[in-house]
A and B are shown apart, each in its own frame.
Chain A
Amino acid sequence: DTGVSQNPRHKITKRGQNVTFRCDPISEHNRLYWYRQTLGQGPEFLTYFQNEAQLEKSRLLSDRFSAERPKGSFSTLEIQRTEQGDSAMYLCASSSYEQGAYYGYTFGSGTRLTVV
C-alpha cells in the first residue's frame, strides 16, 4: 500500500463545467475525509465517510458538490457548474478510527483545481 492517492493532481476547467476528483485511501482505513484548502489557510472540512456511509457534510458543501464512496473503497468528489470561487486544493485523507488504535490522518497529495 503506497498511501492515499488522489487524481488528477491538477485540473484546469472553464467556469460552468463539471469536474470529478478521485481518492483511493489506505485499504485498511475505514474513514475517508475531503477537505478544501485555499492559499494561506488551513484545510476546511467538507465531508467524511465511514465505510460507504456519508456521515457528515459541511455547510460549505453546496448543492453543486456531491461525494460518494461506493462499496467503502475509493471516493469521488464532483463539482457541478464550477465557479471561480471553487478554485482551491482539494485534499483527501483516510484514517482508521478504532478505540486505542487511532493515529491521525494520512493525506493524499491533493488535487489543485483552477476555474478560469
Chain B
Amino acid sequence: SQQGEEDPQALSIQEGENATMNCSYKTSINNLQWYRQNSGRGLVHLILIRSNEREKHSGRLRVTLDTSKKSSSLLITASRAADTASYFCATPKSYNTDKLIFGTGTRLQVFP
C-alpha cells in the first residue's frame, strides 16, 4: 500500500523557475525523506526531515514538514535541466521502523 501521495503527478517548467512538489501521508512518523530517480536508475537520497523539524535546506532544496496536516513539500529553486527526474517522498511504515513506504512520485521536466 502507498503511504505517501505526491502532488502533482507531473510538472513541467522552464530552467530558472522554481518547482514545488507536495506529499501527504497517513500515519504518525518520526521522519520523512525525499528521493530523486533519473530514468531507469536507482533512487538517490536527497534529504531527511525529522518530525521535530519544520524546515530543512540543502543547497537549492527546501523541505517543509507539517505534522498536524501530515504533509510535506519539496521546493527546488532556480531549476536546471539536470533536475529532470522523478521525485518520491517516503515515510516509515510505522513509528519504530525504518522500512520505507514510497509514494507514486512527481515527474519533473525542466526545459532548457
Residues of chain A at the chain B interface (Cβ within 8 Å): 4, 6, 31, 33, 35, 40-45, 48, 56, 89, 91, 93, 95, 97, 102-110, 112
Q: Which of B19-60 contact A (CB under 8 A)?
A: 31, 33, 35, 40-45, 48
Interface residues in B, total, Cβ within 8 A: 21
B61-96 contact mask (Cβ, 8 Å, vs A): 1 or 0: 000000000000000000000000000100001000
Query: How many A-B residue contacts, CB cutoff 8 Å?
Result: 57
Is B103 within 8 A of A42, CB to CB? yes
Q: Apart from A104-B33, A108-B42, A109-B41, what are 4 other A-B pairs with CB-CB below 8 Å?
A: A31-B98, A35-B102, A42-B2, A103-B48
User: With A and B bound together, what is the CA distance between A106 and B100 in angstroms?
Assistant: 12
Closest to B48 in A: A104
Docked pose: A17 CA to B9 CA in angstroms: 36
